[in-house]
Amino acid sequence: MSRRPLVAGNWKMNGSRDSNANLIHDVIFEVRKYPDVDVLVCPPAVYLDAVGRQLEGSAVQLGAQDLSEQPKTGAYTGEIHGVMLRDVGCTHVIVGHSERRSLYGEGNDKVAQKFATAQECGLIPILCVGETLEQRENGQTESVLAEQLGTVVTACGAQAFKQAVIAYEPVWAIGTGLTATPQQAQDAHAFLRAQLAASDAKIAGLVRILYGGSVKGENAESLFAGPDVDGGLIGGASLKAGEFMSICAAAAAQARSK
Ligand code: PEP
């Protein structure tokens, strides 16, 4: 089963009008070398409109880092609805990033609501799942992943993953410089795909599962080697065009060899 690789940059709470414009200028120019890779950038919400305008006519897609779980717009101060994200050109939105889960108390049920709202708005959710170091050391990796993915499958159905992406991001590897080994990444991805296959084998074969956690130009090719690894969700390294493009090059190289 060949799936088009996706490399998504999560800029987190970084950037400025000037630095974004420079970064996007370089990304748009360089990305033309990798026509077989889907490339997405997820800037902070306040910059989505400007970045989206700059991306017009390029192959680079726009995503948001979060959205409100509320099904309708209205009196929810500080929140951003999926229809607004669509309005400024977003095609994707990250849901359930570990920083949202750990720092802002988002549990599996809320993440499932966000996933559902995203799809109702025509956005492709990128569902982040992953275990903490303690959970891994206690042998709970699979049960944690099963619950994180399972809550969304129960709420939205396996068919919903026809228009969704999964990102496996071990919490202990995010922003730490530590990475899963390529085998650990492949094992987790295979487990997630098998879990989805238990409900719908066809959808499981189609869904893209990204690896995230300290991916850099130098380690991307080995991390993307596994047959169930379909690209990456990139934090820190997505803020430097050269580094981000090396990761896209690695995804392109792996896609050719799979
Ligand atoms: C992330 O925030 O999704 C991420 C993977 O971050 P980093 O690449 O910096 O570890």
- What is the Cα–Cα distance from 68 to 73, expressed in whole angstroms? 9
Rounded to two decimals, the pTM is 0.97
CB count in 10 Å sphere of residue 154? 12
Q: Where are the alpha helices (DSSP H) in the chain?
A: 17-31, 48-55, 82-87, 98-103, 108-120, 133-137, 141-156, 182-197, 201-206, 217-223, 241-257
- Over 60: is that where the pLDDT of 1 sits? no
**Portion of the chain with pLDDT greater than 90, in percent:** 97
- Over 70: is that where the pLDDT of 242 sits? yes
Mind giving me the DSSP string for 233-257? EESGGGGSHHHHHHHHHHHHHHHHH
By alpha-carbon position, which residue is closest to atom 6 of ligand 1?
A: 235
For residues 171-187, give the mean pLDDT: 94
Ligand 1: residue of 129, 174, 223, 238 to mutate (most ligand atoms within 8 A of CB) is 174
Residues 6+ apart with CB under 8 A from 218: 246
By alpha-carbon position, which residue is closest to atom 2 of ligand 1?
A: 235
pLDDT given at position 227: 97
Query: Mean pLDDT of all residues in the chain?
Result: 97
Per residue in 4-48, pLDDT (tens digit) is 999 999 999 999 999 999 999 999 999 999 999 999 999 999 999
Per residue in 186-220, pLDDT (tens digit) is 999 999 999 999 999 999 999 999 999 999 999 99
As given in the structure block, the two tokens for residue 153 are 């499958």
Positions marked active-site: 97, 169
Q: How far is CA 4 from CA 56, 97, 228, 251, in A?
A: 22, 23, 12, 9
* Closest C-alpha to 128, from 165, 154, 161: 165
Taking the centre of ligand 1 as the mean of its atom positions, its distance from the CA of residue 72, in whole angstroms, is: 30
Find out whether the beta carbon of 175 lies less than 6 Å from any atom of ligand 1.
Answer: yes
Taking the centre of ligand 1 as the mean of its atom positions, its distance from the CA of residue 180, in whole angstroms, is: 12
Locate the ligand 1 atom nearest the alpha carbon of residue 238 and give its number. Answer: 8
Residues 6+ apart with CB under 8 A from 221: 250, 253, 254
CB 11 within 8 A of CB 238: yes
For residues 138-145, give the mean pLDDT: 98
pLDDT given at position 115: 98
Query: Domains in the chain, start-ordered, CATH in brackets?
Result: 21-250 (3.20.20.70)
Find out whether the beta carbon of 10 lies less than 6 Å from any atom of ligand 1.
Answer: yes
pLDDT given at position 2: 81
